[in-house]
Amino acid sequence: MKKTQATMKKELQVTSLFYILAIILSHLPLLLLKDSFYHVDFLIPLFACILVLEKHVLTLFKIFLFGLLTDLLLGSTLGVYALSFLLIFTVYYFFIQFIAFKTNLQKLSLLIFITFFGVFVESLTNIEELNNLAINQLIINSLFSSLAGGCYFLIMRLKRS
Amino acid sequence: MAQQKTQRLRLFTSSNFSFLHFCLLILTSIFLIGFDNKYQLSEKIHQKIFFLKSPFYSIINLPWDFYESLEFFYTNQQSLFNENIALKEKVQNLEFSLQQLESAKLENAQLRKTLKIYNLKNFSTIPAEIRLPININEKNKLFINKGESHEVIQGAPVINNDGLIGQVIFVGKDLSEVRPLHSSNFVINASLINGKENVFIFGNGSSLLEIPLFPIHRQINIGDIFITSGIDKIYPKGIKIGNVIEIIEERKGQFLKIIIKPFAHPQTYSTVSVIREKL
């Protein structure tokens, strides 16, 4: 079903709102995660959710710019999010070529998988933190981020229905 | 089905982008990461747009400020009374320490005169409070509520009762960002508390500090305390940094890697002081 201009505009507004929210949440200390050893990445699950729910027709250049903007706003090393988003997109594209994700559960599984992958890539490309990277930290951070992804998914799904 | 497939394929093989573009963008990203790590490009950009971010940081501090003012407003008389007694006791103790300090100061001046040592530069402190955000997407950040309007300057050291905390890197009007001493790019010149061994201490991004290559023939023990040496003319001499908790052999026993635990841990301070040179 082809999207109308109004639907696309509405989707863009909702995504922008989520993006601003994700940026704000990234700056706030969460009550249960005061120690910086664990954290929730709010941007990667959001991007994964946009991909899985096919909210926008994304081009590689748009994804690259989106990543760079995120790097600038978060103050992280330039290119980290751009690379992560591009690789997430590649993995997503690879999957949808072979498997059809039709039901919500299937889409949610894909979302969790690519969020895990995205957090791994983002942590590995972040050279500053690489020396202190621990595998348990990485897994727990991915779990937290997947949880955030699940929340995005539910809200976006609810909105659609 | 076929139409759906075509629509999906369009994501990657649209008329504007191809596999070549994908490779180019990946390479650009990797190049940017490398370039940024070498030349600290993001920090320079961050410095330029810091004034744009300051209002945002003020907004995220609003709920906490509101809670604090409410708490202050509704604090009962009994707790204020208790606080008053505690503060009076503290003032008495401080007055006693001040008297001792005054006599030590006189003795110090006398000794300096005898030994013909020039006076060190005088420093004053600007009290400040830690503000949100303390963490941006995994990275520890430190913001204080004093800026240009309070005469905070870029590069000024920040301390608290426990010791050195970091250095001011960006200054806004009423907000400054401090680089904590354990962050990856932090380097400081230090010496042992007995004045021996001038070394550079590096932050490594974890909660600990390190001296990567310490000559093996030099004497160092677990528990030794490092203080600022004052040689760099940025940090006044004698600010406590941390103590040695681990000594590891490096490069086939030719050097030692010294692990230092800072006295001031990022989670333990809420108020700090910015040091500035007296004009």
Nearest-angstrom CA–CA distance, B32 and A115? 23
Confidence of residue B279 (pLDDT cuts 50, 70, 90): low
pLDDT at B96: 82
Contact B249, B256 (CB under 8 A): yes
Residue A5 host element (H or E): helix A5-27
Residue A149 host element (H or E): helix A135-160
User: pTM value?
Assistant: 0.71
Nearest to A129 among B36, B41, B205 (CB): B205
The residue of chain B nearest to residue A24, with distances taken between CA atoms, is B60
pLDDT at B9: 44
Hey, which of A32-36, A110-114, A142-146, B249-253 has the most confident mean pLDDT?
A: A110-114
Contact B157, B236 (CB under 8 A): yes
Whether residue B28 has pLDDT greater than 90: yes
The residue of chain B nearest to residue A26, with distances taken between CA atoms, is B137
Whether residue B18 has pLDDT greater than 60: yes
Per the document, the length of chain A is: 161
Cross-chain Cβ contact A57/B11 below 8 Å: yes
Is the CB of residue A86 less than 8 Å away from at least one CB of chain B? yes
Whether residue B265 has pLDDT greater than 80: no
CB-CB neighbors (< 8 A) of B41 in chain A: 78
User: What's chain A's average pLDDT?
Assistant: 83
Nearest Cα to Cα of residue B204 among B231, B189, B186:
B186
pLDDT at A160: 58
To 5 degrees, how large is the angle CA A52–CA A53–CA A55?
115
Contact B165, B178 (CB under 8 A): yes
- For strands B157-160 and B163-171, give the pairing: antiparallel
More confident residue, A43 or A76: A43
pLDDT at B3: 47
For tokens 């301070």, what's the residue? B269
Give the SS3 label for residue B163.
strand
pLDDT digits (tens, 9 = 90+) for B87-120: 988 888 888 888 888 888 888 888 877 776 655 5
pLDDT digits (tens, 9 = 90+) for B128-164: 888 877 767 667 778 888 888 888 888 899 988 888 8
Cross-chain Cβ contact A75/B184 below 8 Å: no
